[in-house]
Structure 1
Amino acid sequence: MDLYSVARRIFEGVQMNPAINNTLLVLIPKVQNPESIFQFRPISLCNVAHKVLTKVIANRLKPLLPDLIGPEQNSFIRVAGSNNARSVHLILNFSEQIQKASKVSDPSTRKRARIVRHIALSHPPSDTVKLNSDGSVMINPDSAASGGLIRDQMGNWLVGFKANLGTCSIFRAEAWGVLLGLRLAWNRGWRKVRVEVDNQALVSTIQRSDYEYTVDGTILREIKI
């Protein structure tokens, strides 16, 4: 059977002959007189049909990959007209954040003093429950969600919640997490709630009084009430 017929049968759904995957493994010596397995370089010799068919399949999948793989996960995928500038930007951004995690304590010696921030559960008063909420946004597909949990003064889990928000910003997703948690606490009869959230921008905005004219003003106003 010629190569064209084999390729056509594969794309028609006919099971491929397992023999087409047979590969000859050859050890190429790295030195003149090798004495150890580590002095050899393995090379796989695939048959021509295997190479041609896998290349055809890869070329047919290539136009579909941008819709299947997110932009942060395509560093090793070759797309026409694209480059790895986004990946490089992310790496540099992470590097900058790591450098900011340390500060120069003595400019003359350039010795760095690590800033350590301990994170642990802080127990609320006996008549108060604690709400921890968070929000997240996916780039592809464009969707957002929020969720959280409420615990008693001993850190025991009381109730949890989650919600799909559709399309919105990370700020709004975080705000919805706080609001939904407060609504749940109110409906359960808990009137004293201590809220913990990791979005400093949200906390600062709630503490101010100029959020009335923002697009998220309605959510923030209900949170503060």
Structure 2
Amino acid sequence: MKLEVDGSYRQEEGVIWGGGLLRDHTCKWITDFMFQEKGGSSFCVEAKALRDGLRLAWDRGFRRLICASDNQELVRILSAPGNIQDQVHDGVVREIHEVLNGDWQVDLSWCRREGIAAADWLARNGSMLPVPEFRIVKFLPPELEVLLLRDSLWIR
């Protein structure tokens, strides 16, 4: 399974939104999600998107997962050995570590934004949701089909 996540924020409005999607081993769409809430930073929204995507994958019963994020700092912090309490963003990072410590295999990697265009689209469209809201999408939005194909062809 593959999880791709992204997030966006508007500091002047104090609102963050994010999203992500799950694909199977053939890159076929399984489900996606988006959310919007008040408060946070660009790092925070990326971390929350990853946390929520991991929880969704776990709840769906997936136990082998490849995660892609375009946030190098997040990937670095989660990949570094050591005490997460020393990290600046330790609240959400700690929650992600708790999810990652489940009985499953998760490989986290950084990728360029161009490689997760579908997740970026979901994050931006999370801005259309009421505040706060988390929504799991049950049907593939037609606008995502071309982006999913492009992402599956992207060489990272």
TM-score by length of 1: 0.41
Q: What's the counterpart of residue 221 of structure 1?
A: 94
Q: Between the two structures, name the one with larger relative contact order (CA 8 Å, sep ≥ 6).
A: 2
After superposition, the CA RMSD in angstroms is 1.4
Give the secondary-structure state (helix, strand or coil) at the position aligned to 2:13.
Answer: coil
Q: Which has the larger radius of gyration?
A: 1
Picking from 178, 203, 219, the partner of 2:75 is 203
Q: For residue 27 of structure 2, what is the aligned residue in structure 1?
A: 155
Equivalent pairs counted in the alignment come to: 97
Tell me if 1:175 matches 2:44.
Answer: no
SS in structure 1 of the partner of residue 95 of structure 2: helix
> Which ranges of structure 1 fall in alignment gaps of 5 or more residues?
1-128
Q: Between the two proteins, what is the percent identity of the paired residues?
A: 35
Letter in 2 for 1:190: F
Q: What is the rounded CA distance, in whole Å, between the counterparts of 1:166 and 1:218 in structure 2?
A: 16
**Which ranges in structure 2 are unaligned for 5 or more consecutive residues?**
102-156
Q: How far does residue 215 in structure 1 lie from its aligned partner after superposition? A: 4.7
1:22-42 CA distance string (max 9 Å, x none)? xxxxxxxxxxxxxxxxxxxxx
Moved beyond 6 Å, runs of 4+: none
Amino acid of the structure 2 residue aligned with 1:213: D
Which of 176, 193, 200 does residue 65 from structure 2 map onto?
193
For the residues of structure 2 that align with 1:214 and 1:173, how far apart are their CA atoms? 16
Give, in whole Å, the separation in 2 of the partners of 1:214 and 1:138.
23
* CA apart distance, 1:196: 0.2
Paired with 2:43 and 2:4, the residues of 1 have a C-alpha distance of 16
TM-score, structure 2 as length reference: 0.58
Q: Using the TM superposition, give the Cα deviation of residue 221 of structure 1 relative to its aligned residue in structure 2, in angstroms.
A: 2.5
Q: Which residue of 1 aligns with 2:85?
A: 212
